[in-house]
Amino acid sequence: MTDGTGALLTRTRRRVRRPGPGHPPRGDARPLAVLAAVFTLAQLALVRPGLGLGWDEIVYTSQVTSHHPAAFFSAPRSRGVSLLVAPVASWSDSTALLRVHLAVLSGLGLFLALRAWRGLFPTRVLVTAGAFFASLWVSLFYGPQAMPNYWVAVGALTAVGCFLRHRADPASGGPLWAVVAGAALMALMRPTDAVWTTVPLLALTLAGRHWRALLALTGGLLAGAVPWVIEAYTAFGGLGERFEEASRIQGGLGWHIAVDDQLRSLGGRALCRPCTGSMPHPVITLWWFALPLLAVLALAVAVRARRTLRTLLPLACATTAALPYLFLIAYAAPRFLQPAYALLAIPVADALWHLVTAPRGKWRPAVRALAVLALAGHLAAQLTVLVYTVDRTADSRRDWARTAAALHRLGVRPPCLVTGFEAIPIGYYTGCSSGAIAGNNESTTAGEILRTADRVPVAALTGPDGAPPGYARPWPVHRIGELEARIAPAPGPGARG
Determine contact, residues 109/144, Cβ cutoff 8 Å. Answer: no
Q: Give residue 361's pLDDT band: very low, low, confident or very high (50, 70, 90).
A: confident
- What is d(CA 244, CA 240) in angstroms, rounded to the nearest whole number? 6
Task: Kindly tell me if the per-residue pLDDT of 395 is higher than 90.
Answer: yes
Report pLDDT for 491.
Answer: 75
Q: How close are the terminal C-alpha atoms of the chain, in Å?
A: 94
Interval 201-253: pLDDT, tens: 999 999 999 999 999 999 999 999 999 999 999 999 999 999 999 999 988 88
- What's the average model confidence in pLDDT over 50-60? 97
389 vs 174 pLDDT, higher one: 389
| Exposure on the CB side of residue 14, measured as CA atoms within 13 A | 6
Residue 17 in this model has a pLDDT that exceeds 60: no
Q: Give the Cα separation of 447 and 470 in Å (integer).
A: 11
In the predicted structure, residue 465 carries a pLDDT above the cut 60:
yes
Name the average pLDDT for the chain: 92
DSSP reduced 3-state for 458: strand
Query: What pLDDT shows up at residue 28?
Result: 82
Cis before 31? omega within 30: no
**What pTM does this model have?**
0.92
Contacts of residue 177, Cβ cutoff 8 Å, sequence gap at least 6: 216
In the prediction, which pLDDT does 12 show? 40
Is pLDDT at 23 greater than 80 in this prediction?
no
What pLDDT is attached to residue 182? 98
Which residues, other chains included, contact 238 with Cβ-Cβ below 8 Å and sequence gap of 6+? 232
171, 288, 299, 402, 450 from 307: Cα distances, Å: 20, 26, 9, 57, 67
Q: Residue ranges per domain, the chain?
A: 30-358, 394-487
Q: For residues 78 and 406, what is the distance between their CA atoms, to the nearest angstrom?
A: 33
183-217 as b/e: b if 16+ CB within 10 A: bbbbbbbbbbbbbbbbebbbebbeeeebeebbebb
Instruction: Answer whether the bond into residue 415 is a cis peptide, omega within 30°.
Output: yes
Give the whole-number percent of the chain exceeding pLDDT 70.
93
Q: Which residues of 372-411 are buried (b: 16+ CB within 10 A; e: fewer)?
A: eeeeeebeebbeebbeebbeebeeebebbeebbebbbeee
Name the 3-class secondary structure at 451: helix
